[in-house]
A and B are shown apart, each in its own frame.
Chain A
């Protein structure tokens, strides 16, 4: 018995024409196993780890000039594995890699102050470092608002794993407290590639 170069498929020696049925079965079994493996891997590949999580109730009374985390509350979609509990994006072991992150935050101020900031932030926090959470990456986008309501989107690419989580935070300078409103406040993540 010999095997092929790459996938080690079996075939008989030239001087071994007997046991044809056995040779055929061995080749068919080997091809079957390879096709099954390819099917499994293709399915995983087509099912890229992706999640969209959303705020489904308003987060009210956010004070000015302080970073405030917006915990999401519901999973819109999660495919390719366990990426989230619904509050943040934290890939399970085996799903680590480089992720394209995008968030939208919907702000609403009951009493808007002209020309004040509405900042949406994606923070990547490594909570395995020392005893405190540690921000290893941040993406900010800020809008100025005169009328009270504005949607702010922010995006970036970052490495995530089971100890590096993507979170949404906000900050503003309105004179009075403002709200972050559902359901158009969300965080989405899709893996570009595994760790390389």
Chain B
């Protein structure tokens, strides 16, 4: 009767084993080792190319940021530059990253925003659908037409169903209107490590 190792359960012969059973024992051991090694190679491949998506929008798009409907200030994207884990479906929803794996994620966005003017400012917010803002940068601008903002954050999720998206807003006085135009937006989300 073969024995097994304590932690990995690998098979080995004992004193009562018969010589004719050795090939079967070796096959069992080789198969067990094969499974262990294969698992490590799969883990290696998974971490070499982590879940990662990068979305781009280069066509100016208008957003209602004052008095609009819910979600009217969420950035929309027109192209997927990278998606290693089926995180994005632009046809279904061109605003969200589906964070497909529990763990720590880095999320971020770069945007060029047109139109604040006056004494208003604009704000870029990195949000998830469970209600927290993980990154928040703001710029108060008194003289310029354009504002460029970039931000990133690292947060964790215990789920594989959370969504990440980016919102813009404006603040201050002298706001010229209810809409802002985003000339360029690039947003990303990539998995950093397990919980």
Is A13 in the interface zone, CB < 8 Å from B?
yes
Q: Contacts A20-B22, A45-B47, A98-B54 hold; do A192 and B190 have CB atoms under 8 A apart?
A: yes
CB neighbors of A among B146-188 (8 A): 147-152, 186, 188
- Known contacts A4-B31, A38-B44, A157-B186; A192 and B50 CB within 8 A of each other: yes
Contact with B along A26-44 (1 / 0, CB 8 A): 0100010011001001100
Contact of A194 among B23, B48, B147 (CB under 8 A): B48
Additional pairs, 15, CB under 8 Å, beyond known A23-B22, A45-B48, A192-B52: A5-B34, A7-B38, A12-B23, A16-B23, A38-B40, A100-B106, A100-B108, A100-B190, A115-B142, A139-B110, A140-B112, A141-B150, A142-B148, A156-B108, A196-B82
Q: A16 to B54: give the CA distance in the assembly, Å.
A: 55
Size class of B's contact patch? 35 or more
Chain A interface (Cβ within 8 Å of chain B)?
2, 4-7, 9-17, 20, 23-24, 27, 31, 34-35, 38, 41-42, 45, 98, 100, 102, 115, 117, 139-144, 153-157, 192-194, 196
Q: Could you list which residues of chain B lie within 8 angstroms of chain A, going by C-beta atoms?
A: 19-24, 26-27, 29-31, 33-35, 37-38, 40-41, 44, 47-50, 52, 54, 82, 84, 106, 108, 110, 112, 139, 141-144, 147-152, 186, 188, 190
B-side contacts of A156, CB under 8 Å: 108, 110, 150, 186
**29 intermolecular pairs with C-beta atoms under 8 Å apart:** A5-B34, A6-B38, A6-B41, A9-B30, A9-B34, A9-B37, A10-B30, A11-B23, A11-B26, A14-B24, A17-B22, A24-B26, A31-B33, A31-B37, A45-B47, A100-B152, A115-B143, A139-B110, A144-B144, A153-B150, A154-B148, A154-B150, A157-B188, A192-B52, A193-B48, A193-B50, A193-B52, A194-B49, A196-B84
- Compute how far the CA of A63 lies from the CA of B174 in the bound complex, rounded to whole angstroms: 33
Inter-subunit contact B30/A98 (CB<8 Å): no
Query: Considering the chains assembled together, what is the distance between the CA atoms of A117 and B143 in angstroms?
Result: 10
Q: Which of A17, A38, A100, A196 contacts B23 (CB 8 A)?
A: A17
Kindly provide the distance from the CB of B150 to the nearest chain A CB, expressed in whole angstroms.
5
Contacts of A196 in B (CB 8 A): 49, 52, 82, 84
| 8 Å CB contact of B37 from A6, A13, A14, A142 | A6
Please, how many angstroms separate the alpha-carbon atoms of A148 and B82 in the complex? 40
Distance of A24 Cα from B112 Cα, bound (Å): 64
Smallest CB separation, B3 vs chain A (Å): 16
User: What are the residues of chain B within 8 A of A157 when measuring CB–CB?
Assistant: 54, 108, 186, 188
Cβ–Cβ < 8 Å partners of A35 in chain B = 37
Known contacts A144-B141, A156-B110: A27-B29 contact under CB 8 Å:
yes
Complex interface: chain B residues within 8 A of A12 (CB): 22-23, 26-27
**B21 (CB) vs chain A CBs: closest residue:** A17
A155 cross-chain contacts in B, Cβ below 8 A: 108, 110, 150-152
